[in-house]
Amino acid sequence: MITLSFKIKKQNIKPFVLAFIFLLSLKAVSQNNFNFGFYPKLNFSYKTSKNLKLSTKIESGQLFYSKSILNNDWNYSYEFTEISVFASSKIYSNSSLNFGYMSKIDEGNLSHRLIEQFTLAKKYNGFRLGHRFAADQSFKTFNDIRLRLRYRISYETALSGQNIDPKEYYLKLTNEYLYSIENDKMNFEIRLSPAIGKEINKKNKIEYSFDYRFGKLLDKVKVNSLWFRLAFYFNAK
Amino acid sequence: MKKLILILSLISSFSLAFSQTKFEREYSINYEDVPEKAKDFINKAFNNNKIKWYKEVSQDGISLEAKTKFQKHYFSIEFDTLGNIQDVEKKVKFKKLSKDTQELIKNSIESVFDKYRINKIQIHWKSDDNTLIELINSKINNKEFTISYEIVIESKSEQGPKLYELLISDTGNIIRKSKIEQRSYDNLEF
């Protein structure tokens, strides 16, 4: 087993531990449904011109454990695959507008999603904050559309030194809020994700994270999902 | 459950195989490892302020840095490995500089860049220990010291928006101009 070796600052590890305890406590108090699985991601970006970047993202969800009113079982099942493409235009060096399309294959069904988002990454003394504002429209047919508005805040800080240098580890915490409308029915979801990342170089990264999703908050039966995620971010140019 | 742990271990091992020798650019150091000369300067200049110490390895060699927030400003004090002071940097807002200094800086930047915006300014001071301590504590003195301005600007170029770092002298000459290679933020974007 390869071990991670870096100097951990107490003040940086504390939010990670608190976030993880929060994730576990949410599971403990959650109602009926709970799913646990693996959700890897590969993100590949290529800069085509001075302001335009194309990105492709592939993600796949696999469940290892599922608990509901009817069952309670450790059982592997492949759940879905999502393939997205985005066109990104830089506004300033730290902000961009993205327009994307995603296909999702889920239990043999194909659904589509259009995505529009604005991202701002602001550097402070010793950490970076990311703000992502997004809207998406998902549909299988044109009669069945789900609209969502999303806001995600991310906090990123080095685990050694003040800046994240190549070959160094960092901590990232993200918190997202999603508001959805489908068939005139509203709903709400909260996501929380602590991650440890490694900066391979200034363009490429690997991240390990837990992604907790507390969904259908306005329904009687809520949905809890805890995903272990492995994400690769590559930039070709 | 055992199968799950094995799968996760294999996945971690595989991905970590990409990472080999660690090359440290800047890392925290313990107070005990800081030369006495550097500690003395910091104690005189900042009293009991909380200080973070770093060792910086770069193409220019190895230096030590003390970073702190004092009187609402961020300071960075650079020493050589023996504890001799190199310079003091103080982060300021452009609007807080005198009108003459603002004009000087604008003229320097506009001699090279058409469209830009200023992201960050730091005042650089070089002098003897006592003069630097007085400058840190905002005491006006008639002693000799060198002042320059390190500025990070964003400029729109043919290649898109880019960040540059300029070092400008107190007479408006650009001593150094370098492009900053930014970390990508696709992990915050997607």
CA A124 to chain centre: 22
Residue of A nearest to B10 (CA): A1
Please give the ipTM for the structure prediction: 0.83
Residue of B nearest to A94 (CA): B185
What's the mean per-residue pLDDT of chain A? 86
Contact A200 B1 (CB under 8 A): no
pLDDT for position A60: 95
pLDDT for position A31: 54
φ, ψ dihedrals at A61, nearest 5°: -105, 130
pLDDT for position A217: 87
Contact A43 B190 (CB under 8 A): yes
Read off the tokens for B139: 């005491």
Residue A10 has pLDDT above 60, yes or no: no
Q: What is the pTM of this model?
A: 0.80
* Pairing, β A33-38 against β A223-235: parallel
Contact A228 B8 (CB under 8 A): yes
pLDDT for position A23: 58
Residue B16 has pLDDT above 60, yes or no: no
Among the partner-chain residues A55, A167, A230, the one whose CB lies closest to the CB of B190 is A55
CB-CB neighbors (< 8 A) of A199 in chain B: 183
Residue of A nearest to B28 (CA): A161
Give percent of chain A with pLDDT exceeding 70.
84
Residue of B nearest to A154 (CA): B188
User: Which has more confidence, A167 or B11?
Assistant: A167
If we measure between CA atoms, which residue out of A81, A147, A87 comes closest to residue A117? A87
CB-CB neighbors (< 8 A) of B1 in chain A: 74
Residue in the block written with tokens 């009293």 = B47
Give percent of chain B with pLDDT exceeding 70.
85
Mind telling me how many Å the CA of B127 is from chain A's nearest CA? 26
pLDDT for position A16: 57
Residue B23 has pLDDT above 50, yes or no: no
DSSP chain B: -HHHHHHHHHHHHHHHTT--S---SEEE--GGGS-HHHHHHHHHHHTT---EEEEEEETTEEEEEEEEEETTEEEEEEE-TTS-EEEEEEEE-GGGS-HHHHHHHHHHHHTT-SSEEEEEEEEEEES-HHHHHHHHTT----S--EEEEEEEEEEEETTEEEEEEEEEETTS-EEEEEEE-PPP-HHHH-
pLDDT for position A24: 55
Read off the tokens for A163: 């800046």
pLDDT for position B82: 94
A·B CB contacts under 8 A? 124
> Over the stretch B55-96, which tens digit does the pLDDT of each residue have?
988 767 899 999 999 999 999 999 999 999 999 999 999 999
> Over the stretch B121-139, which tens digit does the pLDDT of each residue have?
999 999 999 999 999 998 7
What's the mean per-residue pLDDT of chain B? 84
Residue A84 has pLDDT above 50, yes or no: yes
> Over the stretch A70-82, which tens digit does the pLDDT of each residue have?
677 788 888 899 9
Q: Which B residues, 6 through 25, put their C-beta within 8 Å of a C-beta on chain A?
A: 7-9, 11-13, 15-19, 21-25
Band of residue B3 on the pLDDT scale cut at 50, 70, 90: low
Q: Which of B62, B158, B187 to substitute to test the interface with A, most A CBs within 10 Å?
A: B187
3-state secondary structure of A20: helix
Among the partner-chain residues A4, A91, A202, the one whose CB lies closest to the CB of B183 is A202
Rounded to whole angstroms, the Cα distance separating A155 from A175 reads 9
CB-CB neighbors (< 8 A) of B17 in chain A: 2
Read off the tokens for B177: 């101009």
> Over the stretch A120-163, which tens digit does the pLDDT of each residue have?
999 888 899 999 999 999 988 767 899 999 999 999 999 988 88
Read off the tokens for A59: 């993600």
Mind telling me how many Å the CA of A36 is from chain B's nearest CA? 11
